[in-house]
Amino acid sequence: MKDSENGLKSQIDKYQKECDDYNTKISKLNPQNEFDKIKIKSLTEQLQGTERLKKDLIEGLNRLFTQDKQFVLSDLNSLYGITSDEE
């Protein structure tokens, strides 16, 4: 695995831990309490932002995997003289 992939996986794990922490904090609050309602709203917004960042990183990691796969397939095709139907 490349350093860039390891870095992305590490960031994804970090964001997942943050999401878990936000969920834990939210679950401990009382939605009937007005002050807690405000905290829940704020934590939920932070959770959503972190989830978006995590999703973006997952998509980036998937793109890297796809590029790696295409690179390997291209090399194999070249090695064995396989051409695509498009050529």
**Tell me: the pLDDT tens digits for 26-59?**
999 999 999 999 999 999 999 999 999 999 999 9
> For 1-87, where are the E strands, in sequence order?
none
Count of structural domains within the chain: 1
Residues 6 and 12: their CA atoms lie apart, in Å, by 10
Give the range of the structural domain holding residue 34, as residue numbers without chain letter: 3-69
Over pLDDT 90: what percentage of the chain?
Answer: 61
Tell whether 74 is covered by a domain: no
Better pLDDT: 23 or 75: 23
Tell whether 34 is covered by a domain: yes
Task: Work out the pLDDT band at 85, boundaries 50, 70, 90.
Answer: low
Place of tokens 């829940």: 40
Tell whether 40 is covered by a domain: yes
Tell whether 28 is covered by a domain: yes
Tell whether 76 is covered by a domain: no
Tell whether 87 is covered by a domain: no
**Whole-prediction pTM value?**
0.73
